[in-house]
Amino acid sequence: MQAREVQEAAGAVGQEILLLRASTERELETAFAALLRAQAGALLVSADAFFTSQPVLFVVLTARHAIPAIYPWRSHVDAGGLMSYGTSLVDAYRQTGVYTGRVLKGEKPADLPISQAIQFEFVINLVTARALRLTIPLTLRAFATEVIE
């Protein structure tokens, strides 16, 4: 589970994690209020169906409250979010097409190997970083797949 892994990683570097859940816009507003009360320094958005379907809402809320956030998909960064790290959806769609082609050519889906993501994207939005008064180190920018200026 992603939450447990994040908790373990945070503990290993001496950081505290506040785990919040939301599945509606109202719950999301409540979660952001809790983030503000806790004086959270940043937000990690998980790859949840509700979260990924609301890129503009997240970007608006994080901008309104000046909370730096990292997202699982680049669509949030394209909408104005700070940064994202996750699988390349373009590559995932390509893999889906390859599998579909194999099935259409007669292969049985149960006989196909399980495929895992092999391409990941790290996207940074420097416009948003400047708005949040953050400096993104050159060493971090060097790792980015794309930097939006």
Contact between 59 and 79 under an 8 Å Cβ cutoff? The reply is yes
Per the structure, the count of domains in the chain is 1
- The residues, any chain, with a CB within 8 Å of residue 55's CB and separated by 6 or more, are 71, 73, 75, 76, 78, 79, 81
The pTM of the full predicted model, rounded to 2 decimals, is 0.81
Residue 108 lies in a domain: no
> CA neighbours within 13 Å on the CB side: how many for 99?
14
The answer to whether position 110 is within a domain reads no
Instruction: Let me know if residue 136 belongs to a domain.
Output: yes
Q: What is the pLDDT of residue 57?
A: 86
**C-alpha dihedral (15, 71, 123, 14), degrees to nearest 10:** 0
User: Residue 16's domain spans which residues?
Assistant: 2-90+120-148
Q: What CATH code is carried by the domain that includes residue 7? A: 3.40.50.2300
Report if residue 115 sits inside a domain: no
Residue 46 lies in a domain: yes
Q: Among 95, 71, 92, which residue's Cα sits nearest to residue 83?
A: 71
Confidence band of 135 (pLDDT split at 50, 70, 90): very high
In-domain check, residue 65: yes
14-35: pLDDT as tens digits: 888 888 888 888 898 898 899 9
pLDDT at 133 over 90: yes
In-domain check, residue 109 = no
Report the pLDDT averaged over residues 83-87.
93
Residue in the structure block whose two tokens are 């959806």: 89
Residue 124, beta-bridge partner list: 83, 147
Question: Is residue 77 within 8 Å of 84, Cβ to Cβ?
Answer: yes
Region 125-131 average pLDDT: 96
**For range 84-110, the mean pLDDT:** 91
How high is the pLDDT of residue 147?
96
Bridge partners, 125 (sequence order): 148
Letter for the amino acid at 53? Answer: S
Give the HSE-up count for residue 47: Cα atoms under 13 Å, Cβ half-sphere: 12
29: how many CB neighbours lie within 10 A of its CB? 13
Residue 91 has pLDDT above 70, yes or no: yes
95 located within any domain: no
